[in-house]
Amino acid sequence: MLFTAVSSFCKNIPAWGWVDILFTAVVLFGVWLEASKSARFFAQLKFPKNLLGREMLTHARHESLKHFGWKLVVLGIAGEVVCLAFSLDETAKLNDKAQRASERTAIVESNNLVLRSNVDALHLQLIETSNKVAVVNEKVADLSNLITSTNIAEFRDAFTSKTLSEAELKKYLRVFLESVNSEILYRVDAGNKQIGIFLGDVSESKLTMLSKQPNFSKFLTFERGSNVIIGNGSIGDFLKEKNVDGTMTDFVFSPKYSLRMLIPQKQP
């Protein structure tokens, strides 16, 4: 583990760092040659002890080593100065990278704040929209109940005193036809051009009121016939309004394409 740590540390040292270490070692060696008594000892080893003038030669050799050590110190310091320039340049680059990283972090934090603010705003809009949809659904449910109600007065107040949008009218027409006989909508969505149906008096009144809406003809046209049946009677393939035991009059519905409940097709 120690070897791994040392190896990892050495890999992180740049080339100029190793050169700097080398010059530092040169300076230390030069200082040792200048100041250490060991240098004089090594100078004496070159001359035999019984050599005449050995002391003078040793001194001269020692001075030569000290001079060489001084040169090494100068060389090492010069090399360290050069390495210092690389170190300062590298430090400046690292500081620049750190500054850019700090700026990017600040931008990211700012964007996160903006996104968080947008998410909060969208959440509030979603709550408001959900509340509005709930209110609309409640109103639609109430009007749908009126469509299937037998109270003609309430129906008249709800549907003849206001102009329905095309979407609302289509919704209420489909609810009305469903309440009369679900087979009608099946034939409408199947694309039948004409549909025969016997209606009771209440449903006939509702149909007449709905037909006064400006957009009614965009979805449905109808003709009232003269045939009348009572109870469980039937004529041809005409449908009958369900849950009506009294007299019923025949109608021929001509539904428009816009009345269909279209199912969106998947894109290939």
Q: Please state, in angstroms and rounded to a whole number, the distance separating the CA atoms of residues 191 and 172.
A: 19
Q: In this structure, are residues 111 and 35 in contact, taking their beta carbons and an 8 Å threshold?
A: no
Q: Is the pLDDT of residue 157 over 80?
A: no
Q: Is the pLDDT of residue 153 over 70?
A: no
The predicted structure's pLDDT at residue 267: 44
Spatial CA neighbour of 256 closest among 197, 224, 225, 216? 216
Using CA of residue 237, residue 238, residue 243, residue 246, what is the dihedral sign?
Answer: negative
251 Cβ contact partners less than 8 Å away, ≥ 6 residues apart: 196, 197, 198, 199, 204, 207, 222, 223, 224, 225
40 Cβ contact partners less than 8 Å away, ≥ 6 residues apart: 58, 62
What are 6-46's pLDDT values in tens digits?
666 666 777 767 777 887 888 777 776 666 556 655 565 56
Question: Taking the chain, what is the end-to-end CA distance rounded to the nearest angstrom?
Answer: 60
Spatial CA neighbour of 189 closest among 126, 261, 253, 247? 261
Q: Please state, in angstroms and rounded to a whole number, the distance separating the CA atoms of residues 190 and 192.
A: 6
Assigned token pair, 244: 């009506």
261 Cβ contact partners less than 8 Å away, ≥ 6 residues apart: 174, 185, 189
- pTM exceeds cut of 0.85: no
Q: Please state, in angstroms and rounded to a whole number, the distance separating the CA atoms of residues 100 and 106.
A: 10
What are 164-192's pLDDT values in tens digits?
888 888 888 888 888 888 899 899 999 99
Q: In this structure, are residues 210 and 226 in contact, taking their beta carbons and an 8 Å threshold?
A: no
Spatial CA neighbour of 57 closest among 35, 72, 40? 40
pLDDT band with cut points at 50, 70 and 90 for residue 253: very high
Q: Please state, in angstroms and rounded to a whole number, the distance separating the CA atoms of residues 210 and 172.
A: 9
Spatial CA neighbour of 83 closest among 20, 13, 155? 20
Assigned token pair, 46: 């070159």
What are 222-246's pLDDT values in tens digits?
999 888 888 677 777 888 888 777 8
Chain-centroid distance, C-alpha 12:
39
